[in-house]
Amino acid sequence: MSEKGLTTIHLKKINRAKVYHYIYRKKRTSKLQIVQELQMGLSTVSQNLNLLEEEGLIERNGYFASTGGRKAQAIQIVPDFRLSIGLGILKNMLHITAVDLYGNALYTDTISLPYSHTAAYYEQVAGKIKEFIEKKKYEEQKILGISIATQGIISSDNTMVTYGKIMNNTGMQLKDFSKYLPYLCHLEHDSKSAACLELWNHPELDSAIILLLNRNLGGAVITNRQIHQGSAMHSGSIEHMCMNPDGPLCYCKNRGCLETYCSANALEHACGLSIKEFFPLLRENKSPQLTQIWKDYLKHLAFAIKNLNLVIDAPIILSGYLAPYITEEDIGYLLTQINSSSPFPLDKEQLLTGIHGQYTPAIGAALFYIEQFLRSI
């Protein structure tokens, strides 16, 4: 539709959105910059700035250095105008976070709470969420929604877990949580939530493979900036790639899955230490045994990465709990292992690591409502 065919109301909405999203992208700008970049009239920009400020969406905060005339007032969005709460449900605990409009995790917390498919459990989770919100003194209207990431394959309508062997949560439903909460709620696979976060952090990527190195392994495939789900919603189940048909027994009842070699649980089982104990001791370089255990872990990871890269020629992102523990030296070792047996070498720029650790699924889940809100402006 041409601008002539637009009603005044529609045109005002379009201009309001253009001004807001420009400020959002620039993070800090001035009225003159908006006028020049968007090629809008000064009065139109001024009206929209006043409207957005009245709504609480933007604020004028400080001044730019003078370039000879009057100092230009700095304009920015209000990042915490709205917040999204992300939840990561695990077998023995849950992670909770509050995320602002730029995707920043303002607060994170870990709560010990063993999962059980009971009304008492879901009511407890709802209570912990309400307690978290009250403790941070967030007003109810500030919360966009509660987005829940859980282990297990989720139905195509995001209402139920259809396969949940790790937590024995097959049949978990979104309404199990939502009926105890006064907010919009969303349910997502934890690996898909991790992929959402990595897409957010890497806007330059068109395609990628996500390896979620959590207590249990997970994965996701991104093509054309979309998460590939598959007809049965199990695309990206990298954890069940067979590394050795005679290998250790996996929770899926098969043997030698990547899960049994490269999950955080597998690493803890191999070294007899917690992850928090293992890495400080490893980095001291005083234990040949721990060094060998870590090298074996990286060798298995490299083998999987090599095969994945042969199927999909795209960057690999190591995400989740173990990712922040991986050093530049480890990346170099992985690349050496990968490229020593692959006809197509993997560049260093194609092997990336996430930065949000164990909170990755919770933060990624929260982005569901952030993206929804930004699209609505």
Average pLDDT, the chain: 96
pLDDT digits (tens, 9 = 90+) for 123-145: 999 999 999 999 999 999 999 99
Predicted confidence at residue 323, as pLDDT, reads 98
Q: What does the pLDDT average to over 47-57?
A: 97
pLDDT digits (tens, 9 = 90+) for 1-18: 455 556 888 999 999 999
Predicted confidence at residue 161, as pLDDT, reads 98
What's the CA gap between 272 and 278, in Å, rounded?
9
| Structural domain of 324 | 203-356
pLDDT of 315 > 90? The answer is yes
Confidence of residue 158 (pLDDT cuts 50, 70, 90): very high
Is 58 in the same domain as 98? no
Predicted confidence at residue 1, as pLDDT, reads 46
What is the total count of domains within the chain? Answer: 3
pLDDT digits (tens, 9 = 90+) for 257-272: 999 999 999 999 999 9
Is 23 in the same domain as 168? no
Q: What does the pLDDT average to over 201-210?
A: 96
Nearest to 126 by CA among 182, 180, 173, 188: 180
Q: What does the pLDDT average to over 22-39?
A: 97
Distances (CA, A) of 147 to 40, 102, 174, 269, 316: 38, 16, 10, 31, 26
CATH number reported for the structural domain that contains residue 318 in this entry: 3.30.420.40
Distances (CA, A) of 281 to 93, 264, 284, 290, 332: 26, 16, 5, 8, 20
Is 209 in the same domain as 348? yes
Predicted confidence at residue 9, as pLDDT, reads 86
Is 347 in the same domain as 207? yes
Q: What does the pLDDT average to over 160-183?
A: 97
Residue count of the chain: 377
CATH number reported for the structural domain that contains residue 12 in this entry: 1.10.10.10
Predicted confidence at residue 3, as pLDDT, reads 52
Last residue of a domain, one of 77, 95, 115: 77
- With a CB cutoff of 8 Å and minimum separation 6, the contacts of 231 are none
Is 98 in the same domain as 170? yes
Instruction: Find out whether 94 and 111 touch, Cβ atoms under 8 Å.
Output: yes
CA angle 106, 194, 239 (to 5 degrees): 145
Q: What does the pLDDT average to over 303-319?
A: 97
Instruction: Find out whether 66 and 73 touch, Cβ atoms under 8 Å.
Output: no
Cα dihedral value 364, 365, 367, 372, nearest 10: 150
pLDDT of 66 > 90? The answer is no
Confidence of residue 57 (pLDDT cuts 50, 70, 90): very high
Predicted confidence at residue 168, as pLDDT, reads 96
The pTM of this model reads: 0.94
Is 346 in the same domain as 228? yes
Confidence of residue 71 (pLDDT cuts 50, 70, 90): confident
Is 157 in the same domain as 42? no
Contacts 24+ apart (CB under 8 A), 236-244: 236/191, 236/192, 236/195, 236/209, 236/210, 237/153, 238/209, 238/211, 238/304, 238/308, 239/263, 241/304, 241/307, 243/300, 243/303, 243/304
DSSP letter string, 306-368:
HHHHHHS-S-EEEESTTGGG--HHHHHHHHHHHHTS-SSPPPGGGEEE-S-GGGHHHHHHHHH
Predicted confidence at residue 8, as pLDDT, reads 83
pLDDT of 273 > 70? The answer is yes
Is 50 in the same domain as 164? no
Last residue of a domain, one of 17, 51, 77: 77
Nearest to 146 by CA among 115, 114, 179: 179
Confidence of residue 69 (pLDDT cuts 50, 70, 90): confident
Is 63 in the same domain as 28? yes
What's the CA gap between 82 and 240, in Å, rounded?
39
pLDDT of 102 > 80? The answer is yes
Is 217 in the same domain as 129? no
pLDDT of 34 > 70? The answer is yes
Predicted confidence at residue 5, as pLDDT, reads 58
Residue given tokens 């409502």 in the structure block? 369
Is 216 in the same domain as 254? yes
- Give the number of C-alpha atoms closer than 13 A to the C-alpha of residue 26, restricted to the C-beta side: 19
Predicted confidence at residue 65, as pLDDT, reads 82
pLDDT of 106 > 70? The answer is yes
pLDDT of 238 > 50? The answer is yes
pLDDT of 200 > 90? The answer is yes
Is 211 in the same domain as 243? yes
Question: What's at 139, amino acid-wise?
Answer: E
Residue given tokens 């650790």 in the structure block? 357
Strand-pairing partners, residue 173, are 160
Strand-pairing partners, residue 128, are none
What's the CA gap between 357 and 12, in Å, rounded?
42
pLDDT of 35 > 80? The answer is yes
